[in-house]
């Protein structure tokens, strides 16, 4: 009842870092080659970027690391 017609088009997406669900309209998006990542805040985005970089250079440890 009532004359309020609401188009509820709030599609949620999941933050890549903290797995929180956020409305797509306020989410930060990062478009890769064939994927799109969503983030709830710039903090989560930066964390994800950092994590990615760390992963990419997993072979290089500290400068004084010696392998036996």
CB nearer to Zn ion: pick between 14 and 60:
14
Identify which of residues 26 and 61 has a Cβ nearer to Zn ion in the complex: 26
- Both tokens of 35, joined, read 């994927």
Binding site for Zn ion (CB under 5 A): 15, 17-18, 40, 44
CB of 9 to Zn ion, least distance (A): 22
Looking at the Cβ atoms of 6 and 38, the one nearer to Zn ion is: 38
Q: Calculate ∠ Cα 27-31-33, nearest 5°.
A: 160
Can you read off the two tokens belonging to residue 15? 């933050």
* CA quadruple 33, 48, 17, 59: dihedral sign: positive
Give least dist CB 57 to Zn ion, A: 24
CB of 21 to Zn ion, least distance (A): 10
Q: Would you mind telling me the total number of residues written for the chain in this entry?
A: 68
């Amino acid at each position: 009842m009532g004359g309020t017609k609401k188009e509820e088009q709030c599609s949620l997406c999941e933050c890549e870092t903290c797995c929180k669900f956020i409305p797509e309209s306020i989410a930060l998006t990062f478009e890769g080659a064939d994927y799109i990542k969503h983030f709830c805040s710039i903090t989560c985005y930066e964390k994800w970027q950092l994590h990615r970089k760390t992963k990419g250079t997993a072979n290089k440890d500290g400068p004084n690391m010696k392998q036996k």
